[in-house]
Amino acid sequence: MKVAILCGGKGTRLQEKTESVPKPLIEIGGRPILWHIMKIYSHWGFNDFVLLLGYKGEKIKEYFVDGDRWRRHNFRLEMAPGEQPRLEYLHQDDEAWRVTFVDTGLETNTGGRIKKAEPYIDGDTFMVTYGDGVADIDLRELVSTHRRHGRFATVTAVTPLSQFGIMRVGEDSTVREFTEKPRMRDWVNGGFFVFQREVFRFLGDNAILEREPLQRLAEEGQIVAHKHGGFWACMDTYKDAVTLDNLWNSKQARWKLWED
């Protein structure tokens, strides 16, 4: 099953980092968050990816094709007069991935990017997610949910922590209680979608997935929520990036489902 990952946004809230690299290449624990996302899918047996590129998409191509493999692995360099130096890596990557790179435009919105991937999606069912979110989600269970209900779309619903502390205020304006960043009660879109090909009919060339397409699917009863109560995090700001990096470095990265 194909997995399309939205990698084209400008990441303006992370401008400190995205001036030089696209958001999916911002590193968490020395690896791009895109690598972490792909490892989550790979853990559950999904290894066929379509990367929907836009802003600085050439950097993502370079990472996979030219890459910084020399920086991440031990290697032996052999040199001889008149010959090109030859690298011999002493450790091979474990990933057996098939990756399709699709340039979807600099200014294209999320739904339009998925629409441009249509020629590269085979089969009736495919998966989509954002290039900045990680979770300890059971993706096989997600696919099973999708197949059971038989609709066009499944979206993973999550209840993240609030960005702000909450006050409980009485009728006389007396503050009764402080709660530091509680978990939200409402469900929000956590990405990790499963779609049928019929979804392409709902996508315009520059549609914003989260607006008209998902709203129309909801109005027609063609989208179902898969409720995920475990860990989920989105790298939306510099603070988010630092938090995820700290979790990884302290071995508390709950999205790390795979073995080293």
Residue 32 CA to its chain's centroid (Å) = 11
Which segment of 136-140, 181-185, 253-257 scores lowest on mean pLDDT? 181-185
At residue 68, the pLDDT reads 66
- What is the pLDDT averaged over residues 14-19? 78
* Separation between Cα atoms, residue 227 and residue 156, nearest integer Å: 6
Condensed to tens digits (0 to 9), the pLDDT of residues 239-260 reads 999 999 999 999 999 999 998 7
At residue 70, the pLDDT reads 66
Place 14 in a pLDDT band, splitting at 50, 70 and 90.
confident
DSSP letter, residue 161: B
At residue 227, the pLDDT reads 95
Q: Is the pLDDT of residue 171 over 70?
A: yes
Higher-pLDDT residue of 89 and 12 is 12
Higher-pLDDT residue of 71 and 172 is 172
Which segment of 96-105, 166-175, 183-192, 208-217 scores lowest on mean pLDDT? 166-175
Q: Is the pLDDT of residue 91 over 70?
A: no
Q: Is the pLDDT of residue 184 over 70?
A: no
- Write down the number of H helices and E strands in the chain: 8, 16
45 burial class (0-12, 13-18, 19+ CB within 10 angstroms)? exposed
Listed residue (77, 75, 78, 79) closest to 90, CA to CA: 75
Condensed to tens digits (0 to 9), the pLDDT of residues 98-107 reads 999 999 999 9
Domains and CATH numbers, the chain: 2-157+187-249 (3.90.550.10)
At residue 180, the pLDDT reads 67
